[in-house]
Each structure stands twice: as structure tokens, then as C-alpha cells.
Amino acid sequence: MRFHKTPPVLPWLFRKAWWKRPVSDKILFLTFDDGPIPEVTPFVLEQLAQYNAKATFFCVGENLERYPDLAREAKAQGHQLANHTHQHVKAWKVSPAEYRQQVERCQAALEKVGSGADGPKFFRPPHGQLTWRHLRMLEPEYQVVMWSTLTYDFDASLYPEECLAKAIAVTKPGSVVVLHDSLKAERNLRYVLPRLLRHFSDLGYVFKTL
């Protein structure tokens, strides 16, 4: 079963995480997970630039180390870079101590590309996996950001048209929308992103960083 819209029990369980943002205007928070990679991230930047849209990239530390220039480029264009662990590890598979190392290594990679040293530190757990122990360990230093719209762009069994239609149906002012600058999501993303930007832009929405 796919939950394009976040089931209300999750925000209730993890109340300190951000699931959507309180806004009084038509604002959306687009987020891109798992990059940066040269195959997809430049396309995302191009599309965002066409709408003067700003977004948040939850980066994998290893990718930051491989493609630091791409990360710097995103930052130079006014986007926000945030933490998605060093190797995209699942919280349910590793101890809080190991998880912490993963988060810190990613943070170091972020700081190397000139990001993350100032302002709030945002973190999104890979696969949305978290436990209270992991959350408590992160909380003093990081603001955990989940989502209210999951596009399932990474799901190749989902047609791009369906992916777009479902995303549009559940997105509202203040929604935090998850997309992926990853190879797995590439087919759906290349279809969905330009149309999503156009659709909400035509309705008067603007796109901001968290």
C-alpha cells in the first residue's frame, strides 16, 4: 500500500519532527533526497531555476564527497543542503551510536562544501526510519524533517502520470514534498518535477527552503 499523504498516526508518534509547516500563504517546501549526483541533480537545478523555486536537498555524505562542486552549485543557487546520513543507513539496522557517526560524517561533508555550519541543522532519516532512541539522540542538535507528500517517484512500478496526479491531490499550502535526485527515481522525476512546478506555480504558489 502506498501512502502519498502521510497517515496522521506518524506525526502523532513523532511530534517533534516537522511533517509540514505552518504557513499563511501558498508556500510549498520541495525536498530532494539522496543526491547530489551528476545524472539527475543538474536537471533538478535547471527546473527549479525556471520558476525561481528554492528547495532543500537532503544529501548523502558519500555523494557530497564524490560531487562537492554539484553541492556548491546548488548552494550558490540559493538552495539549502541538509543531512541524510553518510551512507543512507536505516535506523532500524544500526545502534544509535553508529547512527550518530553516520550523521556526523554527513555533517562534516556538508561543512566541507560550505553548508550546515550556520543556522538550524536539518536531518531526514533514510527510508523515514526512526526510533525514539535515535530521535532523542539527534534532537539536541538536529531538527528532524519528515514529509506530508510522498511522490513515490522512486517506485518504478508507478506510472509517472499517476505519481504526478497523486502528488497534486494531496499537496496543500505548507506541504513538505519528497522527491529524489536519484537514479531510481529519475524516470518519474523527469516527468513529475516540471509539471508539479508548473501546476502549483500557475495556482500562485512559491517554493521555499525550510
Number of H helices, E strands in the chain: 8, 8
Taking CA atoms, 194 is separated from 4, 51, 100, 198, 199, in Å, by 19, 10, 36, 6, 9
Backbone CA torsion sign across 137, 91, 125, 1: negative
Closest contact distance (angstroms) between CB of 33 and Zn ion is 4
Torsion of CA 126, 131, 132, 133, to 10 degrees: -90
Closest contact distance (angstroms) between CB of 180 and Zn ion is 7
Closest contact distance (angstroms) between CB of 184 and Zn ion is 10
Between 33 and 186, CB nearer to Zn ion: 33
CB 80 within 8 Å of CB 204: no
Between 38 and 165, CB nearer to Zn ion: 38
Residue 155 amino acid letter: D
Q: Which residues bind Zn ion (CB under 5 A)?
A: 33-34, 126
Residue 185 amino acid letter: A
Closest contact distance (angstroms) between CB of 204 and Zn ion is 30
Between 34 and 181, CB nearer to Zn ion: 34
Cβ-proximal residue to Zn ion, closest one: 33
What is the rounded CA–CA span in Å between residue 139 and residue 146? 14
Distant-in-sequence, close-in-space partners of 19: CB < 8 Å, separation ≥ 6? 6, 10, 11, 146, 147, 148, 176
Closest contact distance (angstroms) between CB of 21 and Zn ion is 20
Between 34 and 186, CB nearer to Zn ion: 34
Between 35 and 116, CB nearer to Zn ion: 35
